[in-house]
Amino acid sequence: MAKTDSLTIDQQQLVEAWQRTIPTVLNASDKAEIKADAADPKTLWVHIVTEGRNGYSFDFKCTYVDSREVKVEFVDVEVEGRNADERTTVIQTLIDDYVRHIHECAQQLHALTSN
């Protein structure tokens, strides 16, 4: 029988752990907000606001594939509250950076998520 490696932590505890940890992997001026997905206990929504970078805000969907691995999907980017063209080099670079930071945050929480 194969061992299943699924996420067993309470979603609210996970949100709180992410909220505490994500600032440690982001740039000091960036702000992040983590929200639980009401429909899926393995999914978190990550909203990042880039202070001092033209007021960009990014939304990502972060889903735990198992207790260690997360799948990060870019959802949206806005500039000063309006949709922005995500195909620009600057925005693509920021998206790549934030996806990497989100993965780093998940790695830092392995001890919590792999119980």
The yes-or-no verdict on residue 15 having pLDDT over 80 is: yes
70 and 103 in contact (C-beta within 8 Å)?
A: yes
pTM across the whole model: 0.91
How many distinct structural domains can be found in the chain? 1
Look at residue 5 and tell me if it is in a domain.
no
> What are the structure tokens assigned to 30, written together?
């960036």
Look at residue 36 and tell me if it is in a domain.
yes
The CA distance from 42 to 50, in Å, is 26
Which pLDDT score, from 0 to 100, does residue 3 have? 45
Look at residue 6 and tell me if it is in a domain.
no
Give tens-digit pLDDT for 41-89: 999 999 999 877 578 999 999 999 988 889 999 999 999 888 989 999 9
- Which residue in 89, 109, 90 sits closest to 46, CA to CA? 109
Look at residue 28 and tell me if it is in a domain.
yes
3 DSSP assignment: P
Per mean pLDDT, which range of 5-9, 38-42, 72-76, 108-112 is the poorest? 5-9
Q: Which domain holds residue 36?
A: 11-113
> Please, which pLDDT band fits residue 14 given cuts at 50, 70 and 90?
very high
The yes-or-no verdict on residue 28 having pLDDT over 70 is: yes
Look at residue 71 and tell me if it is in a domain.
yes
Look at residue 104 and tell me if it is in a domain.
yes
> Please, which pLDDT band fits residue 1 given cuts at 50, 70 and 90?
very low
